[in-house]
Amino acid sequence: MVEIERKFLVISDVFIDESFAQKRIVQAYLSSVPERTVRIRIKADKGFITIKGKSNDSGTTRLEWEKEISLPEADSLLSICESGMIDKVRYEVKVGNHVIEVDVFSKENEGLILAEIELQSENEIFQKPTWLGEEVTNDERFYNAYLSKKPFKTW
């Protein structure tokens, strides 16, 4: 139930040709407070509810609990979420022993491309592709809950 993740800006669209899967994701928040975010997500044709705790000081580690829910449940819960919807396409790219998820945001966050990699430990070494840019793991502006309130286009 612990997520260890690092985030990076993406500086090239080369990852698209390297990806092995892509899915559209729409999500919003029942609660976006940092101590406990509660997210409702539709990923392709599946619904999910996710609860995340506050990140540690480095921004890499936090409690995460996720459960698949039905599409009608997800649609219903999305209708009562806080304002601000995230809409993005997620590309999955195998790099070394890891899968890097690259999110290409649209609508209010259009122009933003972020990559995330989940790790087994905070200090785990991983292969960095050339299209990875600046690390933004500890920059709360790049958290989806923040982007739902203060979209990238308004920065």
Distances (CA, A) of 12 to 68, 81, 108, 129: 32, 33, 21, 10
What is the arithmetic mean of pLDDT over 53-81?
A: 96
CA 94 to chain CA mean position, Å = 17
d(CA 114, CA 91): 10
Closest CA to 127 of 8, 27, 3, 38: 8
User: Which CATH number goes with the domain that contains 29?
Assistant: 2.40.320.10
Residue 18: the pLDDT is 97
In single-letter form, the type of residue at position 32 comes to S
At residue 1 the predicted structure's pLDDT band, cuts being 50, 70 and 90, is confident
Give the model confidence (pLDDT) of 84-131 as tens digits: 999 999 999 999 999 999 999 999 999 999 999 999 999 999 999 999
Query: How many domains does one find in the chain?
Result: 1
pTM to 2 decimal places: 0.95
Give the model confidence (pLDDT) of 23-62 as tens digits: 999 999 999 998 999 999 999 999 999 999 999 999 899 9
Residue 47: the pLDDT is 98
In single-letter form, the type of residue at position 71 comes to L
Find the domain containing 34 and state its range. 2-154
With a cut of 90, say whether residue 9 has pLDDT above it.
Answer: yes
CA 95 to chain CA mean position, Å = 18
Catalytic amino acids? 29
**Residue 149, helix vs strand vs coil:** helix
